[in-house]
Structure 1
Amino acid sequence: MINWDNIDTVLLDMDGTLLDLYFDNYFWLHYLPQQYAEAKHISLDESKTQLFAQFSQHRGTLNWYCLDFWSAHTGLDIVALKNQVKHLIGLRPNAIQFLEKVRQSGRKAVLVTNAHRGSLDLKMQQIPLHTHFDGMFSSHDFGLPKEHPNFWSRLHEVVHFDYPRTLLIDDSLAVLRSARNAGIGYTLGVQQPDSQNGSMNTEEFIGLDCFSSIFPPEI
């Protein structure tokens, strides 16, 4: 699947790649609509209608990932609400072992997420993955989502990776296409980002089922 001899840097998404996307799907599709319905004294169906319309409008933009934006939009403290269900945050199988083996092989492991810093900090408190990375970056640090074609050049100014010798693993097809078009040499999709849902069609990208299938060779 991967020729590790040609890879120096591994860029990894967080939600749906290292972490189970179940937490995020549950929060945005179920828990937040419930809380919004109670706060606005409307039905759950009306709450979902209003919120999902806004989600569709902003999906793929920096606003979609910005907790400050959604706090202002809903009038609710999104970080505080996420804290109420943080016990649902979980790892995808063999994620930590993969990170350990990447570092042990002498390669760089870099977290590159669209998650807002409020969400990133909460998840690192719950599952301290930060010790396994050479760097951790949110797209909010650069003012562009990973879907934007200029994101990768801004990241490159900080990380200095070699485009052809870099692997990106991400559950977003839009992000994978953006990275590929920017010159990232190797890209892998994630077949089942949410453990409670079925497999995702990774289309033109090779799909990763479990990290154990791509452990790099030890030095």
Structure 2
Amino acid sequence: MPLLPWHDIDTVLLDMDGTLLDLHFDNHFWLEHLPRRYAQLHGISLAMAEMELQPLFERNAGQLQWYCLDFWSTELKLSVRELKLETAHLIALRPDADTFLAAIKSAGKRVVMITNAHRDSLSLKLERIELAPYFERLISSHDYGFPKENPQFWDALQADIGFDPARSLFIDDTLPILRSAREFGVAHLLAVREPDSRKGPKDTEEFAAVENYRELVAGL
């Protein structure tokens, strides 16, 4: 994990799920809880539910509707928000993420959350984990109509908050999103080594990765 050139960074852009929050909640919900409840609610086997859901997931991955609870509620004929409440006890902060947030805020950095999470998902998580006070803005890609994977998201973000990409740090656990940020010109990029605490470390390919948030503030 590199020592960051904090003197060259004015703005810190942070993802939420898998970056500040443990991705276990989302992975468990979409891969285990939702298929099981879908099977129960529609009176089919779990195997049949998984067979029906898999192509839907693959077709919509990386697009704005993939992150939209309204889309999935309509598509699957059930209330995704209500089902998420059934597993909300699994929502958890990643180790020392709050220490990191407090440090960069007190150092006078501009701190902005940029998440693909639907506003309902964002609200659900903020009800359980007190993140809002650390941020100048909490931005959902649904506000702009483009996911972070899309170059138009970055144009909209620039028009909205007027940040300098060359003096910005962006941390995200999704490699295509980091590549989209790099194309836009964001100079300082970090992936996350272990976004899901139950799945172990992942290969972050060409990106350096956050392994310990407490160590990340060295030199701040």
Q: TM-score, normalised by structure 1?
A: 0.98
Structure 2, unaligned stretches of length 5 or more? none
Task: Indicate the residue corresponding to 1:124 in structure 2.
Answer: 126
Task: Indicate the residue corresponding to 2:173 in structure 1.
Answer: 171
Partner of 2:151, secondary structure, is coil
1:14-53 correspondence to structure 2 within 5 Å: 14-53=16-55
Q: What is the CA-CA distance between 1:113 and the residue it aligns to?
A: 0.1
For the aligned residue pairs, the C-alpha RMSD in angstroms reads: 0.8
2:51 & 2:19 partners in 1: Cα distance? 28
1:201 & 1:49 partners in 2: Cα distance? 28
1:142 & 1:150 partners in 2: Cα distance? 9
1:62-211 correspondence to structure 2 within 5 Å: 62-211=64-213
1:159 & 1:100 partners in 2: Cα distance? 21
Q: What is the CA-CA distance between 1:106 and the residue it aligns to?
A: 0.8
1:66-107 deviation per Cα after TM superposition (whole angstroms, max 9, x unaligned): 000000011110111111110000010110110111111110
1:124 & 1:58 partners in 2: Cα distance? 26
Structure 1, unaligned stretches of length 5 or more? none
2:117 & 2:17 partners in 1: Cα distance? 8
Partner of 1:10, secondary structure, is strand
1:116 & 1:186 partners in 2: Cα distance? 26
Q: Say if 1:4 and 1:216, in contact at 8 Å, map to a contact too.
A: no
Q: What is the CA-CA distance between 1:114 and the residue it aligns to?
A: 0.2
Q: Say if 1:10 and 1:110, in contact at 8 Å, map to a contact too.
A: yes
Q: How many pairs were matched up?
A: 218
**Any runs of at least 4 consecutive aligned residues in structure 1 with deviations exceeding 3 A, and if so which?**
none
Task: Indicate the residue corresponding to 1:60 in structure 2.
Answer: 62
